[in-house]
């Protein structure tokens, strides 16, 4: 731990620089602490990315409409542009011409692509897990010698039956 001086008093901050989530930490620190409380599953990751994407889309539309009044006449037009951008549709009816608008657009696009990627991964993970549950479980290592003896006995019985003389069809 190291001491950090702010406004004439010493605060103890962990070596990583993160404050304790309960002590008035910034929102990012509280988010990280909340994510660490429960294990991350494909479903939780998809929900987190979905919420993040919705937030970025609304914030992008709002900030773009405020920062670039020339290209976005209203908040509704900014939100429409952000929705087109996050889904990578981009009709072209509303396009930012300023650098600020384009940076916002890039951020919104990357968020949309990340959302699609995580959703695809979550669906794939769910399908693989469902297929894994349907497969029979192989014998444990302790049961393997017994299993092999059973298989060997069955094969021996099959071989013995194959070696038995059979009556001919013409007899």
147-153's contacts with Cβ under 8 Å and 24+ in sequence apart are: none
Distance CA 139, CA 142 (A): 8
pLDDT at 114: 85
pLDDT at 117: 86
Q: Does domain 41-134 have CATH number 3.90.1300.10?
A: no
Q: Can you give the pTM of this predicted structure?
A: 0.54
Looking at per-residue pLDDT, the higher value among 27 and 158 belongs to 158
Cα(first)–Cα(last) distance of the chain, in Å?
95
123-170 pLDDT tens trace: 888 888 888 888 877 667 777 788 888 899 999 999 999 988 877 776
72-129 pLDDT tens trace: 889 999 999 999 988 888 788 888 888 888 898 898 999 888 888 888 888 888 888 8
DSSP 3: E
The confidence band for 37, taking pLDDT boundaries of 50, 70 and 90, is confident
């Amino acid at each position: 731990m190291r001491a950090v001086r702010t406004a004439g008093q010493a605060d103890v901050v962990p070596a990583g620089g993160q404050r304790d989530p309960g002590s008035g930490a910034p929102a990012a620190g509280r988010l990280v602490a909340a994510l660490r409380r429960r294990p991350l599953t494909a479903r939780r990751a998809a929900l987190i990315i979905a919420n993040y994407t919705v937030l970025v889309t609304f914030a992008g539309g709002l900030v773009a409409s405020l920062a670039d009044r020339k290209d976005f006449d209203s908040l509704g037009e900014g939100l429409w542009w952000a929705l087109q951008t996050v889904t990578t549709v981009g009709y072209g009816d509303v396009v930012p011409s300023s650098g600020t608008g384009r940076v916002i657009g890039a951020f919104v696009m990357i968020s949309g692509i990340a959302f699609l990627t995580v959703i695809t991964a979550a669906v794939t993970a769910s399908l693989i897990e469902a297929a894994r549950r349907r497969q029979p479980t192989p014998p444990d290592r302790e049961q393997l010698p017994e299993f092999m003896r059973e298989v060997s006995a069955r094969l021996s019985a099959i071989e013995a039956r194959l070696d038995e003389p059979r009556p001919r069809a013409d007899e």
